[in-house]
Amino acid sequence: MQRNILLTPGPTMIPDQNYEAMARPIIHHRTPQFQQNIKDVIQGLQYVFQTKNEIYLLTSSGTGAMEAAVCNLLSPGDQCITVEGGKFGERWTELANAYGAKPTVIKVAWGKAVEAKQIKAILEDNKDIKAVFITQTETSTAALTDVKAVADVVRATNAVLVVDGISGLAANDLKMDEWGVDVVISASHKGFMLPPGLAYVAVNARAAALIEKCTNRRYYFDLRKSKKAFAGTDTPFTPAITIVIGLVESLKMIKKAGLEKWFAHQAHLALGTRAAMKALGLSIFTDASCLSNALTAVNVPQGVDGEKLIKTLRDVHGVTLAGGQDELKGKIFRICHMGCISEGHLVMGITILEQVLAEMGYAFKKGAGVKAAEDAFKNSKIGAGR
């Protein structure tokens, strides 16, 4: 008998409506029927991105959209800023280097977020910087960047601001137009509750001008091709048809709830999860100044084998959490609470986490985690649930 409670920060669990939509007999993509799906998806994404900008669909994982941002905005030799506070911030640096750009890297302690003034100092020193790449929610550490504060700084310069919203978007607020963010990217398999395979790039006029001038070699991720296809409600290459059709459903759900309520619900779940960890005597890895609604990163307590914890939860109990990546391997575990995860899923996950922690010899008051989560959910004023 199998059970599969997926509490990982990507892929996330998928609602039944989405499974149903994706299981409908597949249709061809060059048809008015599919064009309607694309129209619905673009409109829905514009609502979540809080933008009137064009949004391009790419058939790739999130990294494909990151590559599109780098190889379309930066020409070889161009200078940029990247922020390394975790595995995905490092990816911006790797991409910049791969495409011949010259990144000035801001190193941030894992678990903390970059401060706008750090970016401001470098931009003031160096007027040649063309782009600033940041990560809304750094999935590897659960740290949330204050995108608005960074946008306030970058907007006043000639540089464009590119935000990786792969993990953060649809879980935390990001007002692309109001805050003046130039490029926002995201993907299907996190806050959008779908399988991986579809990514999106939203581009404003300032960024569009850079794209036209960029000299990097590119084809599949060439956003000039995307722009041309977008004008005809099309994609330049065969799209991930079933995920697009599933995305219509996700976006309907988000729209129906309303963005404010949607974010509040994710914050509500985060609150309960963190209350539970505290009651179990566990500490949060991420700095209290930069907690994301998307997931919670928890320090593995002394005496507990972090990798064995994840393995036992998954292989014996059917509850999948994420462990730590790279330098955090074995040191943290991560619980996702974005997308369609409910209070019930989290209570179930916490119950089984308690059981396995007890088996592994960790001392705590049994049931304290579940009680704390339930109390927090009951008393929470931020989200009455969806």
Residue ranges in contact with a second copy by CB under 8 A:
4, 6, 8, 10-11, 13-14, 19, 22-23, 25-29, 31-32, 59-64, 67, 71, 76, 94-95, 98-100, 189, 195-198, 216-222, 237-243, 314-315, 320, 322
Please identify, using beta-carbon distances, which residue of 62 and 349 lies nearer to a second copy: 62
Angle between helices 343-359 and 368-379 (to 10 degrees): 160
Contact 148, 166 (CB under 8 A): no
Please identify, using beta-carbon distances, which residue of 4 and 302 lies nearer to a second copy: 4
Q: CA 86, CA 328: separation in Å to the nearest integer?
A: 10
Please identify, using beta-carbon distances, which residue of 40 and 307 lies nearer to a second copy: 307
Q: Which two tokens stand for residue 304?
A: 């507990």
CA angle 19, 25, 31 (to 5 degrees): 110
Please identify, using beta-carbon distances, which residue of 32 and 303 lies nearer to a second copy: 32
State in angstroms the smallest separation of the CB of 370 from a second copy: 23
3-state secondary structure string across 330-351? CCEEEEECCCCCCHHHHHHHHH
Q: How far, in Å, are 88, 243, 255, 337, 385 from residue 164 at the CA level?
A: 9, 20, 22, 19, 27
Instruction: Show Cβ contacts of residue 283 under 8 Å, excluding neighbours closer than 6 positions.
Output: 277, 298, 299
Q: CA 285, CA 324: separation in Å to the nearest integer?
A: 11
HSE at residue 87, side-chain half, CA atoms within 13 A, is: 12
State in angstroms the smallest separation of the CB of 32 from a second copy: 8
- Which residue in 177, 218, 259, 212 sits closest to 58, CA to CA? 218
Phi, psi (deg, nearest 5) at residue 320: -100, 115
Please identify, using beta-carbon distances, which residue of 16 and 125 lies nearer to a second copy: 16
State in angstroms the smallest separation of the CB of 258 from a second copy: 26
Amino acid at 346: L
Please identify, using beta-carbon distances, which residue of 175 and 314 lies nearer to a second copy: 314
State in angstroms the smallest separation of the CB of 305 from a second copy: 17
Instruction: Show Cβ contacts of residue 377 under 8 Å, excluding neighbours closer than 6 positions.
Output: 268, 271, 272, 343
State in angstroms the smallest separation of the CB of 345 from a second copy: 12
Tokens 């959910």 locate to 377
Please identify, using beta-carbon distances, which residue of 12 and 273 lies nearer to a second copy: 12
For residue 33, how many other CB atoms are within 10 A of its CB?
10
Return the H-helix or E-strand segment holding 49: helix 32-49
Please identify, using beta-carbon distances, which residue of 215 and 379 lies nearer to a second copy: 215
State in angstroms the smallest separation of the CB of 298 from a second copy: 18
HSE at residue 5, side-chain half, CA atoms within 13 A, is: 23
Please identify, using beta-carbon distances, which residue of 125 and 315 lies nearer to a second copy: 315
Please identify, using beta-carbon distances, which residue of 225 and 261 lies nearer to a second copy: 225
- Which residue in 139, 231, 155, 225 sits closest to 187, CA to CA? 139
State in angstroms the smallest separation of the CB of 98 from a second copy: 4
State in angstroms the smallest separation of the CB of 359 from a second copy: 20
CA angle 371, 374, 379 (to 5 degrees): 120
State in angstroms the smallest separation of the CB of 100 from a second copy: 6
State in angstroms the smallest separation of the CB of 27 from a second copy: 6
